[in-house]
């Protein structure tokens, strides 16, 4: 059996991963709030944890891994977008407009993440389907002295959980000193956070022992992971931006509701994404969605390849140059493995992935397989990483066939041998190089390969 090592954010060391039950390895990852298209940064955890899912399936068997990623479909941002539509004259009740908005966004999300080659998780629970479980968990927390109801709100009593802050490495007093915490009259302590809040008639709400209301965000993940994975499970993942307060609050809720259980044994956090060295932001004009890139003609497989080029624990920089290089590499590899039946993933690729998802190291191994001519191994190993799979290759097939251009260049050269006028050959060669084509001319013939920065659009005048 392959030994997997993972960096556990909870203990801050890389540990040998030993599942609670190897017949059912259980993973929970926080999913999106469904009110808009996913931006590029949202896609990073999807690709990171999809790669983990694939590795676990490879090691423990495809039927022995349960991967849960939720949809947050109750949220004030969703309400706000639905309300804006209603005010703009859209037909239907607010509930209907909210449902329309979340359904549409979930469809978009599936389309975009499928395009990145991400497998669908085993379960994709929607928060609104688990409100009953959330109410039950909140009730248990009140009973145990960990939460209190006041003015239609229920709050978690942070001081009742001595380990609060351990996951993110902060003390409660430091948090109060450093954070902009909301001081509300219904809070016993400024750090206490909302489990339940009241809804007026203009907002979605559910009946509860504390009146009509809706759940806070954090309780969702505690209730859904309990329902689908149990009180103790193996791995909990998400972006580093969720570590505090979201994950800290999940730990507090789940551990206080089930003090004998472990909740998540291993915590994994992916670092954030930047664009061309800068933080992605609407004001800098470098904010874009996955769909924006796909529509610009950047294939999903290329996005995935660029993501995998950086270890998940490091900030990752999206650049146009990396995308062009990734595209050239994938195009070349796709040409090499066309019609090749995959064998089995190479031990070196599996070992790299098993070493805390060293995806950059695994890609280096793929280059080695390509260079050594082990094409069946290349196809199988890349497939384990969600690359070079047959259903993802449409973009490469739709690409330009360089063979007719190579034939034309060869004919020009032959003519030049006779006329001793090499200017037409040099002109065509220069145009090809300008389009990012690697030109190899030898006695044996002319070979054209798409190089880094290959731009098919610039070949139009040549064909
Ligand atoms: Zn969560």
Res 286: pLDDT: 84
In whole angstroms, give the CA distance from residue 14 to residue 385.
21
Res 398: pLDDT: 54
Is residue 88 within 8 A of residue 390, CB to CB? The reply is no
Is residue 188 within 8 A of residue 198, CB to CB? The reply is no
In whole angstroms, give the CA distance from residue 318 to residue 290.
12
Q: Which residues surround ligand 1, an ion (CB under 5 A)?
A: 30, 221
Looking at beta carbons, which pairs linking 335-344 to residues 24 or more positions away fall under 8 Å? Answer: 335/396, 336/370, 336/375, 336/378, 337/375, 337/378, 337/379, 337/382, 337/388, 340/375, 340/376, 340/379, 341/376, 341/379, 342/376, 342/379, 342/380, 342/383, 343/376, 343/377, 343/379, 343/380, 344/377, 344/380
Phi and psi dihedrals of 287, rounded to 5?
-95, 115
Res 457: pLDDT: 66
Is residue 212 within 8 A of residue 203, CB to CB? The reply is no
| Beta-sheet strand order (sheet of 153-156) | 147-150, 153-156, 193-198, 213-215
In whole angstroms, give the CA distance from residue 77 to residue 93.
17
Closest residue by Cα to residue 20 from 219, 232, 186: 232
Distance 189 CA to ligand 1 centre (A): 23
Distance 223 CA to ligand 1 centre (A): 10
Is residue 454 within 8 A of residue 432, CB to CB? The reply is no
Distance 426 CA to ligand 1 centre (A): 60
Distance 234 CA to ligand 1 centre (A): 15
Count of alpha carbons within 13 Å of 117, Cβ hemisphere only? 27
Distance 246 CA to ligand 1 centre (A): 6
At a CB cut-off of 8 Å and minimum separation 6, what does 414 contact?
A: none
Res 463: pLDDT: 60
Distance 267 CA to ligand 1 centre (A): 12
Per-10-residue mean pLDDT, the chain, length 463: 96 98 98 94 97 98 98 92 89 89 95 97 97 98 98 96 93 75 83 95 93 96 98 98 96 97 97 93 86 92 98 97 96 92 97 98 98 97 96 74 84 91 92 86 82 69 68
Helix (H) or strand (E) holding 213: strand 213-215
Distance 221 CA to ligand 1 centre (A): 5
Distance 247 CA to ligand 1 centre (A): 6
The β-bridge relationship of strands 25-29 and 65-69 is parallel
Distance 16 CA to ligand 1 centre (A): 24
Distance 13 CA to ligand 1 centre (A): 22
Distance 403 CA to ligand 1 centre (A): 51
Closest residue by Cα to residue 437 from 411, 414, 404, 398: 404
Distance 60 CA to ligand 1 centre (A): 25
Cis omega (within 30 of 0) on the bond before 245? yes
The DSSP output letter for 272 is: P
Res 45: pLDDT: 98
Distance 184 CA to ligand 1 centre (A): 24
Distance 71 CA to ligand 1 centre (A): 10
Distance 29 CA to ligand 1 centre (A): 7
Distance 8 CA to ligand 1 centre (A): 17
Res 437: pLDDT: 85
Distance 453 CA to ligand 1 centre (A): 39
Quickly count: other Cβ atoms within 10 Å of residue 155's Cβ.
25
Helix (H) or strand (E) holding 383: helix 375-384
Distance 49 CA to ligand 1 centre (A): 14
Phi and psi dihedrals of 265, rounded to 5?
-75, -45
Distance 100 CA to ligand 1 centre (A): 23
Count of alpha carbons within 13 Å of 58, Cβ hemisphere only? 25
Distance 38 CA to ligand 1 centre (A): 17
Distances from the Cα of 213 to the Cα of 66, 98, 141, angstroms: 32, 16, 17
Closest residue by Cα to residue 23 from 238, 234, 222, 266: 234
In whole angstroms, give the CA distance from residue 415 to residue 392.
41
With 0-12 / 13-18 / 19 or more C-beta atoms within 10 angstroms meaning exposed / middle / buried, residue 224 is buried
Q: Is 246 helix (H, G, I), strand (E, B) or coil?
A: helix
């Amino acid at each position: 059996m392959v030994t997997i090592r993972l960096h556990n954010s909870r203990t801050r060391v890389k540990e040998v991963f030993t599942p609670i039950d190897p017949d059912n390895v259980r993973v929970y990852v926080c999913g999106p709030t469904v009110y808009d298209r996913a931006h590029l940064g949202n896609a990073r955890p999807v690709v990171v944890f999809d790669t983990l899912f694939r590795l676990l399936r490879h090691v423990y068997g495809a039927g022995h891994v349960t991967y849960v990623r939720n949809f947050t479909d109750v949220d004030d941002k969703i309400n706000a977008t639905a309300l804006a539509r209603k005010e703009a004259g859209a037909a239907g009740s607010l509930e209907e407009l909210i449902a329309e908005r979340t359904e549409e966004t979930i469809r978009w999300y599936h389309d975009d993440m499928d395009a990145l080659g991400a497998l669908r998780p085993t379960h994709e629970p929607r928060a609104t389907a688990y409100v009953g479980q959330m109410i039950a968990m909140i009730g248990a927390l009140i009973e145990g002295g960990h939460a209190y109801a006041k003015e239609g709100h229920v709050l978690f009593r942070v001081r009742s959980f001595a380990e609060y802050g351990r996951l993110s490495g902060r003390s409660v007093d430091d948090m109060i000193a450093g954070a902009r915490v909301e001081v509300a009259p219904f809070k016993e302590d400024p750090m206490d956070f909302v489990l339940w809040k009241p809804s007026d008639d203009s907002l979605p709400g559910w009946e509860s022992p504390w009146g009509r209301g809706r759940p806070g965000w954090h309780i969702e993940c505690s209730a859904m992971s309990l329902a689908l994975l149990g009180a103790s499970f193996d791995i909990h993942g998400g972006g580093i931006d969720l570590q505090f307060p979201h994950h800290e609050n999940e730990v507090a809720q789940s551990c206080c509701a089930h003090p004998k259980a472990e909740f998540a044994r291993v915590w994994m956090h992916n670092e954030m994404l930047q664009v061309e060295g800068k933080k992605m932001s609407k004001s800098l004009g470098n904010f874009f969605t996955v769909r924006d890139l796909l529509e610009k003609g950047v294939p999903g497989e290329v996005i995935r390849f660029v993501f995998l080029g950086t270890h998940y624990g490091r900030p990752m920089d999206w650049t146009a140059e990396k995308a062009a290089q990734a595209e050239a590499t994938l195009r070349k590899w796709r040409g090499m493995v066309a019609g090749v039946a995959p064998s089995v993933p190479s031990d070196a690729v599996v070992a790299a992935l098993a070493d805390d998802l060293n995806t950059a190291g695994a890609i280096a191994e793929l280059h080695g397989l390509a260079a050594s001519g082990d094409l069946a191994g290349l196809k199988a190993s890349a497939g384990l990483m969600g690359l070079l799979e047959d259903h993802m290759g449409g973009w490469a097939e739709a690409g330009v066939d360089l063979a007719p251009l190579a034939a034309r260049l060869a004919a020009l050269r032959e003519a030049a041998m006779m006329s001793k006028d090499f200017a037409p050959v040099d002109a065509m060669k220069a145009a090809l190089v300008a389009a990012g084509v690697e030109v190899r001319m030898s006695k044996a013939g002319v070979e054209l390969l798409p190089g880094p920065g290959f731009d098919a659009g610039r070949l139009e005048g040549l064909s």
